[in-house]
């Protein structure tokens, strides 16, 4: 979701900077750990002594109240419109309430299949999120294409066995290793329907 369909970096960065200041941490270090991971896992990683659930609630409530600069990634609306609702799932490290808020902020409908931090035990870079997303579609992850913007997300998709397309929307290309293809944004992806109802994603303007 974040960095793939929706550009939310301004809100995310302001929120984590506030959280870092609250706990005497360097904001850049916090952001480096936070992108692509569930909030609760970031909190546990950086401040294990805190009440992780309470801190997660604070972070996500702060993000939901700060939509300034949150916009759709170029090509996101067109790609979602081209994909049948039963052929794709959104797999996000956000909780369900934050995911719903993000989609509403950019005027998107919440997709039929969404796997959030509330639905899993181990978040990205663990493969569980993408295994769960594939299962929602009645598929194996090895039959799916994952589109990601973060090293943690790429690691998750690869560990699940999926083919990886990375977007250079959040991290430089040099940090997106492992993906089979790296593109600037979703405008580079085109959906095509082949024989017997199979679906392909082509890369190229």
Condensed to tens digits (0 to 9), the pLDDT of residues 142-161 reads: 999 999 999 999 999 999 99
**Interval 72-106: pLDDT, tens:** 999 999 999 999 999 999 999 999 999 999 999 99
Could you tell me the strand order of the sheet in which 145-148 lies? Answer: 145-148, 163-167, 181-183
Predicted local distance difference test score (pLDDT) of residue 199: 80
CA distances from 83 to 89, 126, 141, 193, 200 (A): 10, 26, 17, 10, 10
Q: At which residue do the structure tokens 């941490």 appear?
A: 25
Cβ-proximal residues to 195 (8 Å cutoff; 6+ apart), any chain: none
Tell me: pLDDT of 196 over 70: no
Pairing assessment for the beta strands 145-148 and 163-167 based on DSSP bridges? parallel
Q: CA of 112: how far to CAs of 55, 88, 95, in Å?
A: 29, 9, 16
Which pTM does this prediction carry? 0.86
Using pLDDT thresholds of 50, 70 and 90, give the confidence band for residue 204. Answer: confident
Quote the DSSP letter at residue 73: P
- All domains in the chain, ordered by first residue: 8-64 (no CATH), 71-203 (3.40.50.1000)
| Dihedral sign for Cα atoms in the order 43, 116, 201, 158 | positive
Residues 6+ apart with CB under 8 A from 45: 33, 37
- Show the tokens assigned to 91: 């797999």
């Amino acid at each position: 979701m974040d960095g793939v369909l929706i550009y939310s970096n301004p809100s995310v960065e302001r929120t984590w900077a506030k959280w870092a200041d609250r706990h005497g941490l360097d904001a850049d270090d916090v952001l480096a750990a936070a992108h692509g991971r569930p909030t609760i896992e970031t909190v546990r990683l950086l401040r294990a002594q805190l009440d992780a659930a309470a801190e997660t609630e604070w972070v996500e409530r702060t993000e939901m109240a700060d939509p300034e600069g949150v916009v759709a990634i170029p090509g996101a609306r067109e790609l979602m419109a081209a994909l049948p609702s039963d052929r794709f799932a959104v797999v996000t490290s956000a909780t369900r309430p934050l995911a719903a808020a993000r989609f509403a902020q950019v005027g998107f409908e919440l997709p039929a299949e969404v796997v959030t931090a509330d639905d899993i035990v181990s978040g990205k870079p663990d493969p569980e999120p993408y295994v769960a997303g594939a299962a929602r579609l009645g598929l194996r992850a090895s039959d799916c294409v994952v589109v990601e913007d973060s090293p943690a997300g790429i690691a998750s998709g690869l560990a699940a066995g999926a083919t990886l397309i990375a977007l250079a929307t959040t991290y430089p290309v040099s940090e997106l290793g492992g993906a089979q293809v790296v593109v600037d944004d979703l405008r580079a992806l085109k959906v095509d329907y082949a024989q017997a109802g199979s679906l392909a994603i082509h890369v190229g303007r």
